[in-house]
Amino acid sequence: MDYAMMKNSRELFEAAKKRIPGGVNSPVRAFRGVGGEPFFVKSAKGCRLTTVEGRELIDFVGTWGPAILGHAAEPVIEAVREAAKGGLSFGTPNPFEVEMAETICRMVPSVEKVRMVNSGTEATMSCIRLARGFTGRNKIIKFEGCYHGHVDSLLVKAGSGALTHGHPDSAGVPEELAKLTVTLPFNDLPAVEAAFAANSGEIAAIILEPVPANAGLYLPLPGFLQGLRDLCTREGTVLIFDEVMTVFRLARGGAQEIFKITPDLTAMGKVIGGGLPVGAFGGRAEIMDRLSPDGPVYQAGTLSGNPLAMAAGLAQLRELERIDGWAHLEKTGATFEAATRAACANRPLTFQRIGSMFCLYFQEGPVRHLAEAMSSDRARFAKFFHGCLEDGVYFAPSQFEAGFLSTAHTPADLETVAAVVEKNLARVF
Ligand code: HOZ
């Protein structure tokens, strides 16, 4: 069967389900949070996806973050084409990875040294191991609803698909390991103080998304991030920012630049791969130097620093700097926010945005942590989602995911979308 020629999402999904668990290679794609079946995409350009049936959709998922210039941006495609001519993978050091390391360190000043990996999961997993190796301690603190990829120690009260599909504490994670993860409510500094008191001298790291975006999107309250920084400094604990989604997106230097906090380690990904599989982690040289081959903490990867992924990411970052992408995205975000807020007026809805990331909660708010996010009306969200999809607008298929804007979303696109949002809100209320 030539599946590439198939023009029917339903038939493709039926075939996929026979050979791929749930028919998808990542659970959030399965539409279980909204019901129905996923569509299959044959191509994507700018802010539009084209399904195998030939339908065009205005996309607010952006391949879950990487497509900050829109899909198939010319400079990125050109860089990949050029790099591919020289070979796809060498398994040796290559010049692209040196340039990427220098670029990351320049754009994110807390990062003195960096290592490339192949996914955000690898990045957070490596940060945890490194923090444990550096401190000689075992316990970590994470926050409810924060999702850091599918790392064993971090699939405890996790967000994203784990939350959407009702498995925030995944089966298959040994209880002995899960016990080493202390989970706390986000934005609750006294709870963190109490956890340090109860586990004195045992906490290797605090890991968090400084802007949690895997249970929708909520922001750190004033003083929360600084409070964590101060506690980590006092306790000799490694502060890890998971900025896989936010770095190079919210600002050149991510959430840490916006909130002026210096973490010890940062997990990165998405935008730095330009759409190819990539991740990175970096931070204080003193900590990073504990990595093998210099130090005793082992971490490795056959495809790490892959020339194509590096070339794509470098081209994307260069283009973002050339067009001052972050100022552009802030303007796009503000326009989108104004239109959405107008459509939401007098309805029990909460719209939250920072830069080019956003979430519309189906509840009155406030939303500052997981428990509040959970009280959203998910049935209403699902109806809204499907109405928008029918009208050609694709938002993330779960109340517990963030939306992403790109520099390819034009004012005309946003006007179209505002009318669709307005129409479908009127339908569901
Ligand atoms: N919320 C996830 C990314 N942070 C969605 C991507 C996935 O799991 O496939």
* Active site residues per annotation: 147, 242, 270
pLDDT at 350: 98
What is the β-pairing status of strands 48-51 and 41-45?
A: antiparallel
How do residues 339-357 score in pLDDT, each as one tens digit? 999 999 999 999 999 999 9
pLDDT at 143: 98
Q: Which two tokens stand for residue 42?
A: 């044959």
Q: Which two tokens stand for residue 380?
A: 């209403």
43 lines ligand 1 (CB under 6 A): no
Q: Which two tokens stand for residue 187?
A: 């934005």
Between the CA of 357 and the centroid of ligand 1 the distance, in Å, is: 14
CA torsion through residues 155, 157, 163, 165, sign: positive
Between the CA of 163 and the centroid of ligand 1 the distance, in Å, is: 11
Rounded distance, CA 408 to CA 192, Å?
Answer: 41
Pair (208, 87) in one structural domain: yes
Rounded distance, CA 421 to CA 351, Å?
Answer: 12
Rounded distance, CA 349 to CA 422, Å?
Answer: 13
Pair (292, 188) in one structural domain: yes
Q: Which two tokens stand for residue 49?
A: 């996806």
From the alpha carbon of 29, which atom of ligand 1 is closest?
Answer: 9
Pair (168, 302) in one structural domain: yes
Q: In this structure, what CATH number is given to the domain that contains residue 49?
A: 3.90.1150.10
3-state SS record for 317-386: HHHHHHCCHHHHHHHHHHHHHHHHHHHHCCCCCEEEEECCEEEEECCCCCCCCHHHHHCCCHHHHHHHHH
Report which protein residue has its CA nearest ligand 1's atom 3: 64
Contacts of 10 (CB under 8 A, 6+ apart): 37
How do residues 381-399 score in pLDDT, each as one tens digit? 999 999 999 999 999 999 9
Q: Which domain, by its residues, includes 156?
A: 74-321
* Residue where a domain terminates, one of 271, 302, 321: 321
Mean pLDDT of 73-92: 98
Between the CA of 28 and the centroid of ligand 1 the distance, in Å, is: 7
* Residue where a domain terminates, one of 295, 321, 347: 321
From the alpha carbon of 120, which atom of ligand 1 is closest?
Answer: 4
1 band by pLDDT with thresholds 50, 70 and 90: confident
List helix spans (H) across 179-306: 189-198, 224-235, 254-259, 285-288
Pair (16, 148) in one structural domain: no
* Residue where a domain terminates, one of 281, 305, 321: 321
At 283, the amino acid letter reads G
User: First and final CA of the chain: distance in angstroms?
Assistant: 45
pLDDT at 167: 86
How do residues 200-220 score in pLDDT, each as one tens digit? 999 999 999 999 999 999 999
> Distance between alpha carbon 120 and the CA centroid of its chain, in Å?
8
- What is the model's pTM? 0.98
Pair (286, 336) in one structural domain: no
Pair (16, 105) in one structural domain: no
Pair (177, 278) in one structural domain: yes
